[in-house]
Amino acid sequence: MKLYILLSFFFLVKGFNWNNKSWRTKKVNQIPDYDDLEKLKLVENELSKKPPLIFAGECDNLQYELAKISIGNGFLLMGGDCAETFKDFSTERIRDNYRLLLQMGMILTYGCGLPVTKIGRVAGQFAKPRSDEYEIINGSKILTYRGDIINDINNRKPNPTNMLKAYYQSVQTLNLLRGFSYGGYASLKRIHNWNLDFIENTIIGYKYKILADKVTKSLNFMNGLGININDDIFKNTNIYTSHECLLLNYEEALTRNDSRNNKPYDCSGHLLWLGERTKQIDGAHVEFMRGINNPIGIKISHLIKPIELVALINILNPDNIAGKIVLITRMGFSNLRIYLPDLIRIIQSSGLNVVWCCDPMHGNTIKTENGLKTRIFENIKNEVKDFFYIHKQMGTFPGGLHLELTSEYVTECVDDNLLINDLDKKYLSTCDPRLNGLQALELAFIVSEIMNN
């Protein structure tokens, strides 16, 4: 009966005419109630006239790369801050997070012998979903902080003009990223320069130096053979952007019809993902995302039923286009072995084209006695290892990693050197705990070794 209801709804939805405003006719979750609707409308209109942040052709290129990953001819690395903020924006921060992704990508490429597609949680990751509308702070009940694009950590009233601030900061971020990617910073000749200062004199830093030395020797060897190591393939790299498709007022305003094919793309980011709290089949977010031609990520926890996942994919990708859907598991290390095999099995039997990606962060969040969120690094590593083990057993390809990380040496996730009592030494995240640079590189080496073996 459940199968019949879900599939019937799928065919019904497919028949509806879609436009970038049709989500407004559906049930809305995780979008704030703005007091000043006139100001909201003015901001939406102004955004709708702004240039796109990304281009449809770039989305198509990403989809092509993801299609190759879906059949085992590449690997996906998604990473970045839990949530971007206005106050922490700086060139140095963007550069250092970018070079951490470059390092991780090189470690993975060297280990698995596959091209690595890099997608940053950046230039749009300003909104955060929340389980509760209100929270208690110092005995007072106040609105929950939902990210800088919606409200301020100190002033919780939703402000529509924050969408314009997020747009302009995203413009600057993308300018920097494109400059780094195509201006020589990403050149393999600079592989030693990517190392972060606080990592250099550590065991992980030493492992990276050995790898960088091997890459440099390989480049010298190729140069000796007459291969042009100044070619763009050695100097440039693609970097894509992603964020959760949460604040639909912002996403609607930045949706454009491409001049090549007249198809709609959400031009706020290359890949948008559907969150755990917004994937209701009859909800506004699914309605919006079924109409855009970007690659789409779907966060899936242990709570989703296999047949619900199939119905959701069919709605978002009715033509079963390869590279369109990235399934991002976020189950927690204790749930993954129990629930993931059934999901893989039904995707296999349904013949659906997907990229399997592991988010080992969100399912492993715990709270300390004083209410501070943290994640135990050992649990994160175990979930990643289990992810690869399960896919190997079932004959499917474990296509990627999705991580909340920062280049800074923060003390937000517990490991052998950072204990619970150390968390508040440098806990900088406004939302969820992130891997620091050392932890992120260690995880990249672990995955590299697994894939190499």
Q: Domain-by-domain residue ranges, the chain? A: 2-186+236-452
| Model pTM score | 0.94
330's tokens: 């976020």
What letter represents residue 124's amino acid?
G
**Fold held by 2-186+236-452:** TIM Barrel (3.20.20)
pLDDT tens for the chain, 453 residues: list them.
454 345 445 544 554 689 999 999 999 999 999 999 999 999 999 999 999 999 999 999 999 999 999 999 999 999 999 999 999 999 999 999 999 999 999 999 998 999 999 999 999 999 999 888 888 888 888 999 999 999 998 889 999 999 999 999 999 999 999 999 998 888 888 888 887 777 778 888 889 998 888 888 888 888 888 887 777 777 789 999 999 999 999 999 999 999 999 999 999 999 999 999 999 999 999 999 999 999 999 999 999 999 999 999 999 999 999 999 999 999 999 999 999 999 999 999 999 999 999 999 999 999 988 888 999 999 999 999 999 999 999 999 999 999 999 999 999 999 988 888 889 899 999 889 999 999 999 999 999 999 988
Predicted confidence at residue 2, as pLDDT, reads: 53
Predicted confidence at residue 225, as pLDDT, reads: 80
* Count of positions (residues) in the chain: 453
Distance, CA of 413 to CA of 377 (rounded, Å): 6
Tell me how far CA of residue 243 lies from CA of 246, 266, 268, in angstroms. 9, 11, 9
Q: Is the Cα torsion angle 338, 3, 330, 117 positive or negative in sign?
A: positive
Q: Are the CB atoms for 350 and 390 separated by under 8 Å? A: no
427's tokens: 């806990």
Q: Are the CB atoms for 421 and 436 separated by under 8 Å? A: no
Phi first, then psi: give them for residue 41, nearest 5 degrees: -65, -40
413's tokens: 């996730």
Q: Are the CB atoms for 211 and 106 separated by under 8 Å? A: yes
